Amino acid sequence: MMKGELPQVRVEGPIRDFIMAVRTQDAGQWSREKVLIKLEEEYSILRDGLCARTKRLRENPDYNLCTDWLKTVRGLS
């Protein structure tokens, strides 16, 4: 998005494979509890990675920049 490109909205790769496995396989292999445990693990890894970053975006980015980007994404400008 920072490069002026639209964000990817389709899921591909390992995430897509996981979603399709949950949707198409036996419920015993992917019970709600197992899915919840896996997603909590993935969330924890992602959260820890984000917290460990050395560089971050400003907490309060430029309002006009964000508004212009949102209009572009929605096809309003």
| 3-class SS of residue 70 | helix
Per-residue pLDDT, 41: 94
Q: How many Å apart are CA 39 and CA 43, to the nearest integer?
A: 6
Give the N- to C-terminal CA distance of the chain in Å, as an integer: 16
Q: Which residue reads 């992917």 in tokens? A: 30
- In this structure, the number of other CB atoms found within 10 A of the CB of residue 11 comes to 12
Instruction: pLDDT band for 26, please (50, 70, 90 cuts).
Output: low
Q: Where are the domains of the chain?
A: 14-73
Q: Tens digit of pLDDT for each residue in 37-56?
A: 988 999 999 989 888 888 77
User: For the CA atoms of 42, 48, 49, 54, what is the dihedral angle to 10 degrees?
Assistant: 170
Mean pLDDT value across residues 49-68: 82
Total-model pTM: 0.47
